[in-house]
A and B are shown apart, each in its own frame.
Chain A
Amino acid sequence: MSSAPETETAPRISTEQLEISIGPQHPSTHGVFRMNVILEGETIVKLKPVMGYLHRNHEQLAEDMSWLGSMPYTDRLDYFCSMSNNLAYALAVEKMMGIDVPERAEYIRIIMAEMTRLVNHTALVGFLLNDLGAFFTPVLYAFREREKILDLFEATAGSRMMCNYMRFGGVKLDLHPDFLDKAKDIVEKYPAFLDETERLLTKNEILMSRCQNVGILPKELAINASITGPLLRASGVNYDIRKIDKYSIYDRFDFKVPLGTVGDVYDRYYVRILEMRESFKILKKAFKEIPAGPFISQKGEVAAKSPRNMKVPAGDAYGRIEAPKGELGFYLVSDGGTKPYRYHVRAPSFINLTILEDMCLGQKVADAIVILGSIDIVLGEVDR
């Protein structure tokens, strides 16, 4: 545009377009992610996301490993939500093997998955404020609460973040004896924390002016780009795999799917707050109904004892869950052997990231940072 030679008749001062590179070490990019941005003044006219800095060959590695062997690697996809990653992978393999899961294990899985959602959304709200420039006050409040849940994960699974907890046909260990009491206590107190967060943020005029009508994602574009998760629901599309697929035992729980109206950053923030409030309902019901009994099926226990000898019947399966970030799917093909023939991850952050440019065009640089933050990406999952 501005490359045309200036004539004497041009009244306004035009500047050169500027190409800048945000990242890969920029703190606002949530990891090693680069945005090649072309700016006209401060307005974005082109944005090219550059991914792949954290590529760890996850899929190929899994194809050279026993079926269970890649379970600990799934923790490292979206390292904020290792429990739900485990669940998606376990579901896909169970579909192929036809293992049934004991009742107690199903409840444990739901509890873990929903607590992961709390962890993820709480941390996201904190980080979003970091991107807005409210350095570390909201994020530390969020981490304070997140830490309580991670302590429970550690007591039960052995690790705060790299849980490696699900097994085919159940879970690795039974819940820690104190788990239910402590978890009930956390869920009891969590709404108070959320109220406090909302008092701090929801009606804050600075936050509203920075977030409202910024990075609007139209409904049609969201559907066409196969966006999933809170990003899609903030644009007003009622699509939640927990409702549609009813995997595991989600059909027994009664919860609403919060929807946004505008599809801007503010809606994405608020949909996540509301989603957490719905998770409390699921968790409370699960705490009440969780039965005693085995936590892993007989067949699963044998397989967990010697993963190298576990064979999966030939065929393919796609296991998907509503992970906190969107639809997380594992597409697996087996040739009947002890290793996956093909192993593919449909990572929500990766696919949600593809529309970054559409949301950022015409916005200012500072808004691009917020829009990126509101997509909720984890680079471990984007690059795999």
Chain B
Amino acid sequence: MWGSGVLQGMAVTIKNFFDTYTKKDGIFTVEYPEKCLPAKERFRNFPILVYDEKPEDLRCVACDICAKECPPKCITIVKAKDAQGKPLKQAAVFDIDFTVCMNCGICEETCPFDAIYMDHEFELAEYDRMNELIYKKEDLSKPWNYFEKIRPTDAKEINARRASLPTKPTTPPSQQGS
């Protein structure tokens, strides 16, 4: 009969309509600003710099590896210098341009010092386009226990690996040759 296909289709839409009232997962929309899905542990957004105790003592040693590996080149690092002009193992400037960063996570993968990790925070709207989205060292610093909270499985693994290290690596292994 001509039209039976249309009627069958209508039956499907009506079934779906009533499912939204009767089935548990009938309504799959999450009303976002009021409710929010729990973040997946591996979810990655923008990078953070972790520190163990004091915010001034970042794990980052300003080795510049992440800045060089970063595909869109959104990281700027300037090494700190002491009074004699000798470069120190910490960053004077560590900027990440969040308008350029594409959340690929390569900085996290390549960091030999477990210093930079991807965050879960995604509500970062700003009024200003150019200045406020360039995150400075202070904005990026987060304590290690914050990381342990958002990514417990990874943190456990990293803690175990760091505890088994004989001494802290002083020079990045891949920089010696180049």
CB distance from A188 to the nearest CB of B (A): 15
Which has the most chain B C-beta neighbours within 10 Å: A137, A151, A156, A208? A137
CB distance from B177 to the nearest CB of A (A): 7
Asked whether, in the complex, the Cβ of B40 is within 8 Å of the Cβ of A154, the reply is yes
B171 contacts the other chain (CB 8 A): no
Q: When the two chains form the complex, which single residue of B8, B40, B106 contacts A69, counting CB atoms closer than 8 Å?
A: B106
Please tell me the size bucket of the interface on A.
35 or more
A210 contacts the other chain (CB 8 A): no
Q: When the two chains form the complex, which single residue of A155, A164, A203, A306 contacts B8, counting CB atoms closer than 8 Å?
A: A203
Chain-A contact segment, one of B74-82, B97-105, B136-144: B97-105
Asked whether, in the complex, the Cβ of B12 is within 8 Å of the Cβ of A164, the reply is no
CB distance from B161 to the nearest CB of A (A): 13
CB distance from A17 to the nearest CB of B (A): 37
A87 contacts the other chain (CB 8 A): no
Instruction: Give the CA-CA distance A204 to B4 in the complex, in Å.
Output: 8
B156 contacts the other chain (CB 8 A): no
**Binding site secondary structure of chain A:** helix
Asked whether, in the complex, the Cβ of B42 is within 8 Å of the Cβ of A158, the reply is yes
A55 contacts the other chain (CB 8 A): no
A307 contacts the other chain (CB 8 A): yes
A334 contacts the other chain (CB 8 A): no
Given contacts A72-B106, A155-B42, A305-B110, contact A204 B177 (CB under 8 A): no
Chain B residues with a Cβ closer than 8 Å to the other chain, count: 33
Interface residues in A135-171 (C-beta closer than 8 Å to B): 137, 141, 144, 147, 151, 154-159, 162, 164
Chain-B contact segment, one of A194-202, A273-281, A367-375: A194-202
Asked whether, in the complex, the Cβ of A72 is within 8 Å of the Cβ of B71, the reply is yes
Interface residues in B48-72 (C-beta closer than 8 Å to A): 65, 68-69, 71
**B 73-114 to A, binary, CB cutoff 8 A, 1 in contact else 0:** 000000000000000000000000000001111100110100
CB distance from A163 to the nearest CB of B (A): 10
Q: Which residues of A contact B103 (CB under 8 A)?
A: 159, 162
Q: Which residues of B contact A307 (CB under 8 A)?
A: 69, 106, 110
Asked whether, in the complex, the Cβ of A173 is within 8 Å of the Cβ of B42, the reply is yes
Asked whether, in the complex, the Cβ of B109 is within 8 Å of the Cβ of A172, the reply is yes
Instruction: Give the CA-CA distance A288 to B104 in the complex, in Å.
Output: 31
Shortest Cβ distance from A62 into B: residue: B71
Shortest Cβ distance from A167 into B: residue: B109
Asked whether, in the complex, the Cβ of A205 is within 8 Å of the Cβ of B2, the reply is yes
Q: Which residues of B contact A201 (CB under 8 A)?
A: 9
Instruction: Give the CA-CA distance A309 to B178 in the complex, in Å.
Output: 9
CB distance from B145 to the nearest CB of A (A): 21
Instruction: Give the CA-CA distance A72 to B118 in the complex, in Å.
Output: 15
CB distance from A67 to the nearest CB of B (A): 11
A18 contacts the other chain (CB 8 A): no
Q: When the two chains form the complex, which single residue of A162, A176, A196, A309 contacts B42, counting CB atoms closer than 8 Å?
A: A176
A246 contacts the other chain (CB 8 A): no
Asked whether, in the complex, the Cβ of A306 is within 8 Å of the Cβ of B3, the reply is no
Interface residues in B147-174 (C-beta closer than 8 Å to A): 174
Instruction: Give the CA-CA distance A156 to B9 in the complex, in Å.
Output: 36
Binding site for A on B (CB under 8 A): 2-6, 8-9, 11-13, 16, 28, 40-44, 65, 68-69, 71, 102-106, 109-110, 112, 118, 174, 177-178
Given contact pairs A155-B40, A200-B8, A306-B65, enumerate 18 new A-B contacts (beta carbons under 8 Å). A65-B71, A71-B104, A73-B71, A141-B16, A151-B40, A155-B42, A156-B42, A158-B43, A162-B104, A164-B105, A164-B106, A199-B12, A200-B13, A204-B6, A204-B9, A208-B5, A305-B112, A308-B69
Binding site for B on A (CB under 8 A): 65-66, 68-73, 137, 141, 144, 147, 151, 154-159, 162, 164, 172-173, 176, 196, 199-208, 304-309
